[in-house]
Structure formats: C-alpha cells, structure tokens
Structure 1
Amino acid sequence: MERRVMVVGLDGAGKSTVADLIEGEPSDHRHREDLYYRSRVLEVPGRYIENHWMHNTILMLAQNQAAAALFLIDGDTLESFYSSGYARAFTIPCLGVLTKCAHLTTEERARGMERLVDAGCSEALAVSTETGRGVRELLDWIDGHAMTRMDASGHRKEEPCAM
C-alpha cells in the first residue's frame, strides 16, 4: 500500500491548497465529504475532525496509509476541533500548519501556533501561499520527514515501534 502525507483540517482551512503544493500541481476536484487520494497526499475531509467519533478513523488511516500528517488551522478563523494532545497519538511524524497567515497580527499568529501545540504538534509552521511565507519550509519538512520514510514503491522504509 502506498504511503502518503495525510492532510487534516476543518473545511476551508486550506487542505487542498497545501495538497497542491505537495503534489506540485493543482487538482480539479471539488469539495468532498469522503477521503481524497492523490499520488502523494491523502486529504481528510473537515467533517472527520469536526466529529470526535471519527478521530479513531483518522488514527487508523494514519497508521495504515500515511508516512506523515499535517494538522491545519485556518488563520482566518483560528478555529480548532483537535482534542488536546491528539497528534501525540500518531506513530508518524506530525506537523502543525497555520494557514492563511499573511494578514495575522503577531498575537493572532501566536494564538494559532499555541492551538497547534495544544493539539500535540511538537513542530509547527505558519504558511501563506499568498506571500510564500513558510512554503519552502513546509516542503523541506515533508521531504525530510515523510518522503524519506518511503521507498520507491511508496512503502515505509522503517516501521515505528508499536506499544
């Protein structure tokens, strides 16, 4: 089974835009209520994170199909439905991503980053496709954490230790 970068966030948080950056090309898919598999990315619908009873499904998908996970928070709303410490339950590298950050004040950016840390992300980036801020760092993180964990066929090179 091919491992992908899992992109998680509420509707409108920028999942498809981030996925387009990772893929290197835009997608023509419309808003979906189901999982969207691309060659390097697995987009998880916002409804999955809004409904806490779906959180275990996201964990299962990550365990079986993802090399890394990106947890997005929309800079326009700073709204988060992530449970406290949720990202720490994953056995893959996880990165918090604050999107649409070009217009944010220092305080708003700090509040968004704080929410990502509260969600359990040990690393977080502020990204703006409008200005290009953080885009290179995001792609470098993915290349360093997710793609190095996959071999040419898309399988993990090393499996994390299960407890």
Structure 2
Amino acid sequence: MKKRILIIGPNRQHVQAIAEAIEQPERPIRKVANIMYTNDTILVPSSYLESPWMHKHIISMQQKASKVLFLVPYPNRKRSYPPNFAHVFQVPVIGVVISEIEKTTLAEQRAEKRQLEEIGCSKEQFFLHLDNIDEIKDFVEKIR
C-alpha cells in the first residue's frame, strides 16, 4: 500500500496549493466535501477541523500516510487545531505557516511559529509565501 502525505488545514486554497505542488497534476485538483485521495496526498476538508467529532477521522488517516502537514494560514484570526493535536500522530508531523502577504516581520513569523508549537509541531517548521513558487518547490523537495 502506497503511503501518502496527509495535508490538513483550515484554508482550502492553501491545502490545494500544497497538494498541487506535490502532485504536479495536469488539471487542478477539484474541490470535494470529503477526504480526497490523490496519487501522493490525502486532502482533509477544512470542515473536518471545525467539528471536534470529525477529528477521529483525521487521526485515522495517518494509517495511510507517511507524514502529516499541518497548515496554518497567516494572518490567522482563530485557532483551528486543538492544543497538542499533532501529538496523537505516530507518523512525522510538519508544521507549515502559509502567508499570502509578501513581506512579514520576524515578530509575525514568531507568533505563527508559536501557534505551530501549541499544535505540537515543534520539530519541523516552515514558513512559505503562497505566491513564491520557488520557495514552495524547495519545500516540496525537502519533505519528499
């Protein structure tokens, strides 16, 4: 059985952008309301994060995953993950802050990285600018 990268995030566009960077599909990945399996990824709809009773479904997806990406949007107005949520996963977890803003200060980056640590993503953390294609390509190479 092929192991995929499980991608979790409160922003559908961010999840899709990272999945498409990993997959390199000929056509954009379509939006669905359920967990979606692609060749190399498993995409979790943001609605699964919004409902605590759906968290068990996210956790069960790790059985088919080689690693988990926790995406945190910047700027972020609300907490999307429960504290220490990443600690329930037995596969490696990677925290990724995704910014749509070109310039961010170090203080802003530190605040978002603290949020990753609250989730339980303290070992591997990345800060990506969504419009920087080279940065995203480098990220994909590092996590493969």
User: Once the 2 structures are TM-superposed, how far is the Cα of residue 78 of structure 1 from its aligned partner?
Assistant: 5.2
SS of 1:20's equivalent in the other structure is helix
Instruction: Tell me what 2:16 maps to.
Output: 16
Q: 1:98 to 1:78 in 2, by over 3 A?
A: farther
RMSD: 2.0
C-alpha distance in 2 between matches for 1:133 and 1:109: 19
C-alpha distance in 2 between matches for 1:133 and 1:78: 27
Instruction: Tell me what 2:114 maps to.
Output: 114
Q: 1:106 to 1:26 in 2, by over 3 A?
A: farther
User: Once the 2 structures are TM-superposed, how far is the Cα of residue 17 of structure 1 from its aligned partner?
Assistant: 0.1
List gaps (5 residues or longer) in structure 2. Answer: none
List gaps (5 residues or longer) in structure 1. Answer: 144-163
By percentage of residues, which structure has more helix? 2
User: Once the 2 structures are TM-superposed, how far is the Cα of residue 49 of structure 1 from its aligned partner?
Assistant: 1.1
* Paired residue total: 142
Moved more, 128-137 or 3-12: 128-137
Q: 1:103 to 1:133 in 2, by over 3 A?
A: farther
- Length-normalised TM-score, structure 2: 0.87
- Length-normalised TM-score, structure 1: 0.77
By percentage of residues, which structure has more strand? 2
Answer yes or no: is the 8 Å Cα contact 2:4–2:67 preserved in 1.
yes
